[in-house]
A = this chain, B = another copy of it.
């Protein structure tokens, strides 16, 4: 059986998702080495999984002719440098989102991977969630007729520390960007105009850092349909990830995932399980599917599902949303 030899770059939080999956759960993947300047962290991750080759410098992986592809799971500000080098070395790339906050730098990566003829998939993992895939399928099959409204609620279980917010690029670039991708993906349309209002209702420190923690964003789509996203940095009942698409023939809605399907009826009330706690729990299987899709695309030489070019669109929307919010909610056209 053909295998894709993969080098993992980074041993941080998201690498701890991808690395065991690539070792154990992704058919056709062979993770051969991991690079991280923090060799101790790298070994802590690799040894129990039986990966012996651990190196401090990702360039070592790029020079290895046996490595077909790299996963870029290093800090965001290193993505562009590594992606350009990987493209130059002719490696296929899986790059965690976002490639960068800066549009011109993203464009450089797009050009590099396209001219090198390597694949570059960006980690919009939610597209692989079983619920959202089903919605996408129903829309594409025409089960809903013409899409008219898209509604997305996306709320985190816990506000991040202000220190994180400061470097995050703001709620639209950091959090809503997933929903921008989803709104366009599920509707099969382009986002043409955005208007956003935000408030700081959860942590005043987030407001002092110039960001908001609660927002509502309205979108116009190229088809004429409308969409709305609401975000909160803190839903005390857990990670709230629901989507609804409404069309001329009907509606499809996806509920949250729960740790099990039990209902407990007591004298004090009837209890269901809360949603799965956060993205690692909710999107566990979506990560596997995403990785599998990348490996399959590389092995079969087919297009990846979310290319570097595809990943630019939600960044442009996030920029427009930030501008709209700064202008007090005025509608802003999305740059093409």
Contacts and interface: CB of A to CB of B under 8 A. Distances in A.
A322 to B, nearest CB: 16
A188 interface: no
Contacts of A261: 131, 254-257
Contacts of A251: 235, 237, 240, 264-265
Contact of A216 (B226, B237, B265): B226
Contact of A253 (B214, B224, B262): B262
Contact of A25 (B24, B47, B148, B246): B24
A48 to B, nearest CB: 6
B216 A201 contact: no
B246 A232 contact: yes
Given A48-B1, A216-B226, A331-B330, A266 B236 contact: yes
A259 interface: yes
B146 A201 contact: yes
Interface in A29-62: 47-48
A267 B270 CA distance: 15
A105 interface: no
Contacts of A249: 236, 266-267
A237 B269 CA distance: 7
B250 A254 contact: no
Contacts of A48: 1
B254 A262 contact: yes
A265 B248 contact: no
Copies in the complex: 4
Interface string A298-336: 000000000000000000000000000000111100000
A314 to B, nearest CB: 19
The winner among A143, A237, A330 for most chain B CB atoms within 10 A is: A237
B232 A149 contact: yes
A130 B250 contact: no
Given A218-B329, A260-B134, A201 B148 contact: yes
A187 interface: no
A135 interface: yes
Contacts of A162: none
Interface stretch (A8-16, A75-83, A271-279): A271-279
Contact of A259 (B47, B130, B143, B265): B130
Contacts of A237: 250-251, 265-267, 269-270
A202 interface: yes
A260 B226 contact: no
Interface pairs A-B: 10 shortest CB-CB = A237-B265, A250-B266, A329-B331, A236-B267, A270-B272, A255-B261, A130-B260, A251-B265, A24-B24, A131-B260
Interface of A: 1, 24-25, 47-48, 130-131, 133-135, 138, 143, 146, 148-149, 151, 153, 155, 193, 195, 197-199, 201-202, 214-216, 218, 220, 224-228, 230, 232, 234-238, 240, 246, 248-257, 259-267, 269-274, 328-331
Given A143-B266, A149-B230, A228-B230, 8 more contacts: A195-B195, A197-B220, A199-B226, A237-B250, A250-B267, A263-B272, A269-B273, A329-B331
5 contacts: A25-B25, A131-B262, A149-B216, A199-B225, A256-B261
